[in-house]
Amino acid sequence: MAELFENRVKRMVKAGKKTAGAWSQLCSPASTEILCRAGFDWILIDMEHSPGDMQTLLAMLQAMGGYGAVPIVRAPWNDMVWIKRILDAGAYGVMIPSVNTREQAMAAVQACKYPPVGVRGIAGSPRAAGFGRDTVSYLKRANDEILVILQVETPQAVENMDEIGKVPGVDVLFIGPMDLSTSMGHLGDPGHPEVQAAITKVEAKAKALGIRLGTISGGWEQAKSLYDRGYQLITLLSDVILLSRSSADSMAKFREAFPQG
């Protein structure tokens, strides 16, 4: 019997529920599985700022099998070929970086959808379709179930929010604070007042449009504040940052206790 393709996180978001995610950036099936076992609603596998390739992605998606976490993949760019391959590998959602105009938003959505709505190429044999065993079910449901997340990372995107947010098929707008701050002339400083004002503007526009918001958090206190402001998809941590900070903290304590000559 073919499995029914259902995206639990997309249903949660549509119902107005808050969801918790984690970045998987180590290109490691093991770390991805560890994150899944923690109970996150979704895992965001990064293909933009990590050295992973399609084989790496496939292994990470396979490591998620048997757990409840929904696999979302950040594409390297707004590229229909990359998006097609990511979806065929079994991603339930795609995050697409640096979408700045209505036209770019339309291209992103169309890359995620089969005709006649979009331009995604059809094949019945990829992993997403159960290697040919779930083809009919998957093809019928994919357009409705795939979660389309567009990143807001530039002043141009902020100014074009009204047009971007009205494109049919856009499920979530995801603010990238580091890229946004840098593109505004404040390199790596998302806390700058001008950047925070731009983020507030995005939040207000999203609320007016009735579109869901997501972003990154630096820890639980910040995440809680963002949830209270209406965000529904927030990454609570990253495997890279978690390992980096924890190892550095442990060694700092060791050096303090036992100074080396």
192 catalytic residue (yes or no): no
Question: 11, 17, 49, 245: which is the annotated catalytic residue?
Answer: 49
What is the number of residues in the chain?
A: 261
What is the enclosing helix (H) or strand (E) of 72?
A: strand 70-74
- 5, 89 in Cβ contact below 8 A? no
Q: How far apart are CA 213 and CA 81, in angstroms?
A: 26
Q: How far apart are CA 221 and CA 17, in angstroms?
A: 19
DSSP letter assigned to residue 51: -
Please name which of 186, 174, 183 lies closest in space to residue 148, comparing C-alpha atoms.
174
- 74, 25 in Cβ contact below 8 A? no
Q: Report the DSSP pairing between strands 147-152 and 70-74.
A: unpaired
Q: Quote the longest CA-to-CA distance of the chain.
A: 70
Catalytic residues: 49
